[in-house]
Amino acid sequence: MLLSQSLVAQQQNDTPKFEGYLFAYFEGKSDPMKREYLRFATSLDGIKWKAMNNNFPLISSDTIASTGGIRDPHLLRGQDKGFYMVATDMKTFKNGWDNNPGLVMMYSDNLADWKHKVINLEKSYPKKFKNVKWVWAPQTFYDSKKGKYLVYFTVRYHHNEKLDFYAAYANKDFTGFESEPKLLFSPKFGGIDGDIIFDKGIYHFFYKGNTKDANGKEFKNGIKVATSNSLWGPWKENDGYLDAYANTPTKVEGSSIFKLNNSDEYLLMYDVYSDGRYEFQRSKDLANFTEKPESFTKNFDPRHGSIISITKEEARNLDRKWGGVVPELVQPKEKEDRYVFQHKGNPIIQHHYTADPAALVKGDTLWLYTGHDFEGGQRGYVMRDWLVYSTTDMKTWTEYPVPLHVSEFKWATSKAAFAGHVTERNGKYYFYVSTNHTGIGVAVADRPEGPFKDALGKPLLTNKDCFASTHSWACIDPAVYIDDDGTAWIFWGNRECYYAKLKDNMIEIDGEIKQINFDGFSFTEAPWIHKYKGKYYLTYATGFPEKIEYAMSDNIQGPWEYKGILNEIAGNSNTNHQSILEFKGKWYFIYHNGGINTDGGSYSRSVCIDKMEYNDDGTIKRIVMTSEGI
């Protein structure tokens, strides 16, 4: 009894914790010469999908397939914690449909790095497959009774139009077959795009089948299923069709079935290739399916592919390699969880839309706090929390769990998490944030990564403090500077720029609120104060679309002398918000643009970093925004 309980516990501990899904597919509407290339997409719920790598190919098919193209990629999570993928070796746009010689077998232990082998059935097994015309839609199934991986696929010969399923066990390193493939299943009228799943002691074989009249003319086709008590059959073909389109002119193919995480529900998906759609129907018993088809939400046009469940760490491996993984799949949520990645140029963070950067140096670490534009392609500022990252070398970055939600400020009825700034004093970290028309708040934490808690229970500043302003969003964009003598100052505003002292407790205004004005000062928002060789620098956004200009002074309260433009309009973004600081002897200009294609823009922004340099007279050289970054 104790041994049995131990085994059950061990099995439970060995079961991966699935957080999302991975979709392997080839394209239907991109560059014709690159459609039949491997692509991946990820999803949090299995319904709403986002293409990785901006829907560009992950691996050039020219390097893995003899024809230069792959179709119908099928993914399988192995019993040995590895991953198996097989695909049709075929490039129809270049070579047409007359013939394809075989398939491609691939193996990975992390989903990011793949080994491959081309299997040419005609050359490898000339006795059986000398006259083969098609080797289509291969898939892999783990035979638990044999402890081997079975690869099965559709075969058609030049001399016989019948479409049958053949299969063979893969060798141990998944680079070929143990022996010549044998007939696995011969549907009455033929079949393609097979997908086997085992449930409750029964093997279910989903495939695209058809029905023909006495003269051999096909008059119906769609998704069918056959069942068996044995992997090698005999298979019993069930009557009727499963898909919603079998009795209509709409054609479907590429059926594939997967189970939702933490659910007893299966999704049978298929390629509605005649109309360029990808849809699915639901089932809990693999026999009865919902009648009304549903559509995936996606930013790509997939053709026949397959889906597996993935863990958070697997998602992170994919994101580090190619980028574009759904943000929620890589983002840390647990207190001690971290996501470590290396930036690949600008924008430096590409799995979130980030804006309004504010940086803090503590010891040998730079902490970067950003706003968070929730999605790509937004049509307004939808921001509900702030994000935090750290680095010690400006290349490798660590992401932490969300340090602060706007919901922490119960008084912030706007629910808007606009620009913020973090500073440290006496071992405490103070996060000053703007919440649009409800004011500027302060949160405090014991650690730079948070979590931060509302320090006041009310706003520190509101529109009432913006005495020269008449519009509702005047009280935004706080920036705090602690001078060499220990005096803390806060600057803020939109259209009009204000400043005031902070008390030593950092959560109260000390004295009079003042407004900044000087010749040449055309202020929009985003004030920032820094100091260099005894001089104070005020940088700020001006105009709309915004540039960054700056002024210099011998005193933090002025008078200020206008010095001109520092940074031009940041690409694909109407706003421009900067953070300037020195880290390990070098100066950096941190800003945002709309540089993540294809969903970047004024409301879906991304933080970038470029170097900043001074002239001999203390003025700043114009910032050169680069794709390479630092």
pLDDT tens per residue, range 342-384:
999 999 999 999 999 999 999 999 999 999 999 999 999 999 9
Per-residue pLDDT, averaged over 337-345, amounts to: 96
Rounded to an integer, what distance in angstroms lies between the CA atom of residue 60 and that of residue 76? 21
In this predicted structure, the answer to whether residue 20 has a pLDDT above a threshold of 70 is yes
Phi then psi for residue 340, to 5 deg, are: -105, 130
Rounded to an integer, what distance in angstroms lies between the CA atom of residue 190 and that of residue 329? 40
Rounded to an integer, what distance in angstroms lies between the CA atom of residue 274 and that of residue 283? 24
| Residues 210-221 pLDDT 10s | 999 988 888 899
Percent of the chain with pLDDT over 70: 98
For residue 531, give the H/E element and its range: strand 525-532
3-state secondary structure of 329: helix
Closest CA to 400 of 366, 450, 356, 346: 450
Q: Find all residues with CB under 8 Å of 372, minimum gap 6, and list them.
A: 352, 353, 354, 355, 383, 384, 385, 386, 387, 417
Rounded to an integer, what distance in angstroms lies between the CA atom of residue 207 and that of residue 31? 29
DSSP state for residue 325 in the 8-state scheme? -
- Residue owning tokens 């937004």: 378
Check residue 564 and give left, alpha or beta (phi > 0: left; psi -120 to 50: alpha): left
Whole-angstrom CA distances from 165 to 85, 93, 153, 308, 611 are 18, 25, 5, 23, 60
Closest CA to 287 of 225, 197, 231, 243: 225
DSSP state for residue 563 in the 8-state scheme? E
**CB atoms near residue 217 (< 10 Å):** 7
Q: End-to-end distance of the chain based on CA atoms, in angstroms?
A: 61
Per-residue pLDDT, averaged over 163-191, amounts to: 97
Per-residue pLDDT, averaged over 323-345, amounts to: 96
- What are residue 277's DSSP bridge partners? 272
In this predicted structure, the answer to whether residue 598 has a pLDDT above a threshold of 90 is no
pLDDT score, position 7:
34
Whole-angstrom CA distances from 474 to 386, 407, 501 are 20, 21, 19
In this predicted structure, the answer to whether residue 9 has a pLDDT above a threshold of 50 is no
Contact 317, 29 (CB under 8 A): no
In this predicted structure, the answer to whether residue 4 has a pLDDT above a threshold of 50 is no
pLDDT score, position 3:
36
Sign of the four-CA dihedral 31, 37, 40, 46: positive
3-state secondary structure of 245: coil
pLDDT score, position 512:
98
Per-residue pLDDT, averaged over 304-308, amounts to: 97
Per-residue pLDDT, averaged over 574-601, amounts to: 95
Cis peptide before 357 (omega within 30 of 0): no
Rounded to an integer, what distance in angstroms lies between the CA atom of residue 500 and that of residue 508? 10
User: Per the structure block, which two tokens stand in for 140?
Assistant: 């892999």
3-state secondary structure of 33: helix
Q: How high does pLDDT run on average in the chain?
A: 95
Contact 245, 254 (CB under 8 A): no
- What are residue 429's DSSP bridge partners? 424, 445
pLDDT score, position 118:
97
Q: 3-class secondary structure for 143-199?
A: ECCCCEEEEEEEEEECCEEEEEEEEEEECCCCCCECCCCEEEECCCCCCEEEEEEEE
Per-residue pLDDT band at 14 (split at 50, 70, 90): low
In this predicted structure, the answer to whether residue 6 has a pLDDT above a threshold of 80 is no
Contact 176, 119 (CB under 8 A): yes
Per-residue pLDDT, averaged over 555-566, amounts to: 98
| Residues 139-173 pLDDT 10s | 999 999 999 999 999 999 999 999 999 999 999 99
DSSP state for residue 341 in the 8-state scheme? E
3-state secondary structure of 126: helix
In this predicted structure, the answer to whether residue 2 has a pLDDT above a threshold of 60 is no
